[in-house]
Structure 1
Amino acid sequence: MGESRPLHAFATLPAASVCAAVAALLTALSGRYGYHRDELYFLVAADHPDWGYVDQPPLTPLIAKASSTVFGDSPAGLRVAGTLACVLLVLLVTAVARELGGDRRAQTLAAVCAATSTFVLAVGHMVSTATYDLVAWLAISWLFLRLLRSREPRWWVAVGAAVGVGVQNKYLVAMLVAALLIGLVVAGPRALLRSPWLGVGVAVAVLIAWPNLWWQEQNGWPQLTVAGGIVADDGTENRVLFVPQQLLFLSPLYVPVCVAGWLRLWRGPEVGWARAVAWAYPLLCLQVIGTGGKPYYALPLLLVLLAAGCVPALGWLGRGARRVRRGLFAGAVALTVAVSLAVALPVLPPGALGPIAAINPEQGEQVGWPELADAVAAGWQLVPAGERASSVVFAQNYGQAGALARYGPARGLPAPYSGHMSFADWGPPPDSATGRVLLLRQRGSGGGTGRYFRGCRQVGRVDNGEHLDNEEQGAAVLLCSGTTEPWSRLWPRLRHFY
């Protein structure tokens, strides 16, 4: 196993320049389209602070609330936090390249490749659990590399702290921990596993994560139910799309750099101390495929391989026919930028999003929420004024409910109710709400929810005005005369996780 060499100076100015360019781009586009359904949900969740929610830990809603409070209650204000996370992510990828022996040129290349990849820009544009999950995974990977390179076991404490914070955002970090630890068992140096500092790191991780873990235990581990539903609904599709989506979300043109990075970690004598990470990537892929998880779960380690591959990539660029090679690589970066901008960021008119939404549905989920609230408000006007105090607006999913919570008050709508995800914990309506029910039905859901309401008739339909076929386009607005049973008895049956 090769010994590590002294680190090169950090490429401060080039990395800062890349970060400034990314921040400027994301800031300029942050107010286009509108909120994403998850962002609307996070904002409502933040108004119900708790140590956990049925589908996520509390960190992302807290960050969403803080960003909106400090920078403005708007999509642009909310997304400042996502922009800062993206900047931090680029710096971490740069630091990983440096940790693996990259000089200023290799670090700069790593920063450019990370900043132009589709997934990094996509999660930097929106506030999502994936935004901070990606940062947490890269921070853990960087700290783990420091641990391996220095063989200083006290780095376990920092690794544990990063893991604890990561768990407060998303439990997926457990997959990374498992892959890295197994890689360390296989490739060494195993002496690090015998250090008492590992126990200290585990204790720190558990201490930081404990409030949410306690909340989940007290509530019957609902997040496992949510995860099981995702696998049941999408597991087969996720397995089929695992390789294509990884290539697309990173960039197909960066794949040779990632392959070179993996080979370097696997057999390069100068980074032999990091071979555990070469083992970790296929181990992580096996976990994701085996559990039917989303393909992007493995992307953080792919970014580590990308950073590792920048040294051999520069070596390739410096060999024969350098002008041709550099031209090809510059063209690959330019093409990646063009594709990433179209797929990840709101650069196209909303009406032209159809083909893009087929690749990245999250783009389409930022369009049409005010129009949805308009359709519901028109239906609410059909409720007699004298009955409105005892009537209820019921949305079938958290995106609808979040949109109505955001845009409904300005349109004279009452606070919405929903049985979806944590909205079920913030209900039910009082049993005294015996009036009418304005039901916003999810498109393609059939009449499942409708059987709990009486005398329903369709009074409207959602139209985003852009002819964009997103999840809510064409959703039906129904006006019902009431419920079949009191709300308290119906609520357990109205609750759903997917």
Structure 2
Amino acid sequence: MELSQRRTSLLLLLLFLVFKIVFQFTVVNPAYGLHRDEYLHLDMGYHLAAGYLSVPPFTAFSSLLIRWLGGGEFWVRFFPALYGALTMVIIWRMVRFLGGGLYAQALALSVFVCSAFSRLNVLYQPNSFDVLIWALICWLMMRYLQSLQGKWLLWVGVVTGIGLLNKYTVAVLVAGWLLALLLSSHRRIFREKDLYLGGLIALILAAPNLIWQIQQGFPVLHHMNELAATQLVLVNRMDFVVDQFVYFLGGAFLIVAALVGLLFYWPYRLYRVVLLMYVLVILLLVYMRAKSYYGLGLYPVLIAFGCAYWERVFRNGWSRYLRVLWLAIVVIPFVYLLNVMFPVLSPEKAQEKGHKFAALGMLRWEDGKSHVLPQDFADMLGWKEASQLVMQAWQRIPEQARKNTLVICDNYGEAGALNYYNRGQMPAAVSFSADYVYWFPRLDTLQYIVLLGKEPSEAYRPLIGRTEVVGAVQDTLAREYGSSVYLLSELSPQVPVLLQKGVQMKQQSYRWKQGGR
């Protein structure tokens, strides 16, 4: 590639990357706060460990970095946008590796931006980094298949190990690759010592979390079982398959092009194992009743194949003039649905356009029921209001008694939000939900309880001398609508005893063996 072409290529890539990062900030209306999961993930940065109930430790260390940078919403949104941008760099390299030119590269990045990936990159969750890891593993495997150099397998081991410290689903991709290689003409890879060295590297990198899981009784198995029983059981397998194409809107034809190219295009014969891997992973996810977005990490490599192949099909004669059309087909539907796919509109405006969300199936929550806003949107509302109500309750407590006060919430979103907005002004909130059960303070002396959520249970009511209702979340569009703040005082000495017993029982329930699973 000549110097001028390289400069043009680099400039185009940089423009896409800058646009991508800026775009992720512009598609969130200021009326929305952070998502409930984001508050939990940020709190992990204050409780560094080798593992957690809900995710491996990578997210916690990312949260620590965000805290060092000031902890503002800008940095919370920056990192998923950055991971999306880095995934685009990998796609760019893949397309070039497959012989694609600037048009194919631009088309590929347009597909990435104009798809569910951009929605995924809005939230600070392990998913954006997970997609980056999947894309990088596929890129390294392509390099190995082309060169048969063992160093690429060692790098696969490094990336897999890091990926396992972020999200365990990378194991599904690795399983799909291994089975696909075994069933293909590339099965000679199993005679390569570097394959096993790469596996050893991955195991060593993931070892701290594995040791933590063993010590804690494999809480991940409890979490997976609970997820399967409460959420995945509601997943429709056919919806999963359909969503794999719906996620790409107008760009879905390029995913089909990738499948066709891998199957019939002779220059791609070396990489047909990618198609087999894709089918096996999809079948495995369908069998597991996985959520539709669990498979998104498969598509960066397919986008690269599809766009490189499409450019070749339409590179000669009059068909070259259709190139603008293909870009339009990718971009226009995305622009049309922009205010539906993202929290661009205010919550009230979004409610008015409920028919658009309903048409895309976005009003169906994980409980299997339809609501007035998409679940992700509703999960970004009401947190500041709840935090302000809890602060009002806190200020009613006599100063000398504040050190003997417990702040407790019904769920991890509430606890995380209180800690995000009120940290440093009051004790850290806890909950019997998610990882917060490991973060309870000492309960030796207890004079006051600030409770956010439902009223105290029947077991506690006789032990509470005074219950004062401070207020309730009034935002009807928030998922936390109606959650009340209670100030509990004149507590029986039995209250901390029961709380401590409840904490121990909850922690024990997370242990796979003791949990009876």
> How high is the TM-score relative to the length of structure 1?
0.87
Taking structure 1 as reference, are residues 296 and 449 closer, same or farther at Cα in structure 2, changes over 3 Å only?
farther
Contact 2:34 2:73 in 1 (8 A): yes
Moved more, 476-485 or 122-131: 476-485
Deviation of 1:103 (Å) = 2.6
- Match of residue 335 from structure 1: 332
Moved more, 171-180 or 258-267: 258-267
Match status 1:347 vs 2:344: yes
Deviation of 1:491 (Å) = 1.5
> How high is the TM-score relative to the length of structure 2?
0.84
Out of 366, 378, 384, which is 1:370 matched to? 384
What SS does the corresponding residue of 2:41 show, helix, strand or coil?
A: helix
Contact 1:30 1:79 in 2 (8 A): no
Contact 1:239 1:295 in 2 (8 A): no
Deviation of 1:137 (Å) = 0.7
Structure 2 CA distance, aligned partners of 1:310 and 1:450?
61
Structure 2 CA distance, aligned partners of 1:14 and 1:121?
19
Deviation of 1:458 (Å) = 7.2
Deviations 1:110-148 (A, max 9, x none): 111112212x21232221110111111111111111111
- Match of residue 51 from structure 2: 52
- Match of residue 422 from structure 1: 435
Amino acid at match of 1:110: A
Contact 2:110 2:327 in 1 (8 A): no
- Match of residue 480 from structure 2: 472
Moved more, 282-291 or 94-103: 94-103
Please show how residues 213-232 of structure 1 align to structure 2 within 5 Å.
213-232=210-229
What SS does the corresponding residue of 2:407 show, helix, strand or coil?
A: strand
Structure 2 CA distance, aligned partners of 1:471 and 1:317?
49
Structure 2 CA distance, aligned partners of 1:190 and 1:418?
50
Taking structure 1 as reference, are residues 238 and 12 closer, same or farther at Cα in structure 2, changes over 3 Å only?
farther
Please show how residues 190-269 of structure 1 align to structure 2 within 5 Å.
190-240=187-237, 241-248=239-246, 250-269=247-266
Taking structure 1 as reference, are residues 346 and 208 closer, same or farther at Cα in structure 2, changes over 3 Å only?
same
Out of 441, 445, 453, which is 1:441 matched to? 453
- Match of residue 514 from structure 2: none
Amino acid at match of 2:21: A
- Match of residue 4 from structure 1: none
What SS does the corresponding residue of 2:363 show, helix, strand or coil?
A: helix
Contact 1:234 1:292 in 2 (8 A): no
Taking structure 1 as reference, are residues 156 and 247 closer, same or farther at Cα in structure 2, changes over 3 Å only?
same
- Match of residue 405 from structure 1: 419
- Match of residue 367 from structure 2: none
Contact 2:406 2:429 in 1 (8 A): yes
Deviation of 1:277 (Å) = 1.0
Contact 2:408 2:449 in 1 (8 A): yes
- Match of residue 5 from structure 1: none
Contact 1:153 1:195 in 2 (8 A): yes
Structure 2 CA distance, aligned partners of 1:246 and 1:170?
20
Out of 457, 463, 482, which is 2:473 matched to? 463
What SS does the corresponding residue of 2:231 show, helix, strand or coil?
A: helix
Please show how residues 53-92 of structure 1 align to structure 2 within 5 Å.
53-70=52-69, 72-92=70-90
What SS does the corresponding residue of 2:120 show, helix, strand or coil?
A: helix
Deviation of 1:11 (Å) = 4.1
What SS does the corresponding residue of 2:232 show, helix, strand or coil?
A: helix
Q: List runs of 5+ in structure 2 lacking aligned partners.
A: 365-373, 511-517
Taking structure 1 as reference, are residues 204 and 377 closer, same or farther at Cα in structure 2, changes over 3 Å only?
same
- Match of residue 3 from structure 1: none
What is the Cα-based RMSD across aligned positions, in Å? 2.9
What SS does the corresponding residue of 1:427 show, helix, strand or coil?
A: coil
Moved more, 31-40 or 148-157: 31-40
Moved more, 324-333 or 390-399: 324-333
Please show how residues 12-411 of structure 1 align to structure 2 within 5 Å.
12-28=10-26, 32=30, 33-70=32-69, 72-118=70-116, 120-240=117-237, 241-248=239-246, 250-315=247-312, 317=314, 322=319, 325-326=322-323, 328-338=325-335, 341-354=338-351, 355=354, 358=363, 360-381=374-395, 383=397, 387-409=401-423
Structure 2 CA distance, aligned partners of 1:224 and 1:197?
31
What SS does the corresponding residue of 1:79 show, helix, strand or coil?
A: helix
Taking structure 1 as reference, are residues 376 and 151 closer, same or farther at Cα in structure 2, changes over 3 Å only?
same
Deviation of 1:222 (Å) = 0.5
Question: How many residues align structurally?
Answer: 479
Amino acid at match of 1:298: G
Deviations 1:305-324 (A, max 9, x none): 22211133334555787499
Amino acid at match of 1:463: V
What SS does the corresponding residue of 2:110 show, helix, strand or coil?
A: helix
Contact 1:342 1:348 in 2 (8 A): yes
Structure 2 CA distance, aligned partners of 1:21 and 1:225?
41
Moved more, 45-54 or 373-382: 373-382
Structure 2 CA distance, aligned partners of 1:68 and 1:388?
26
Contact 1:428 1:491 in 2 (8 A): no
Structure 2 CA distance, aligned partners of 1:450 and 1:147?
62
Deviation of 1:331 (Å) = 3.3
Contact 1:265 1:271 in 2 (8 A): yes
Structure 2 CA distance, aligned partners of 1:348 and 1:30?
8
Amino acid at match of 2:405: S
Contact 1:153 1:192 in 2 (8 A): no
Structure 1 CA distance, aligned partners of 2:228 and 2:316?
47
Contact 2:408 2:429 in 1 (8 A): yes
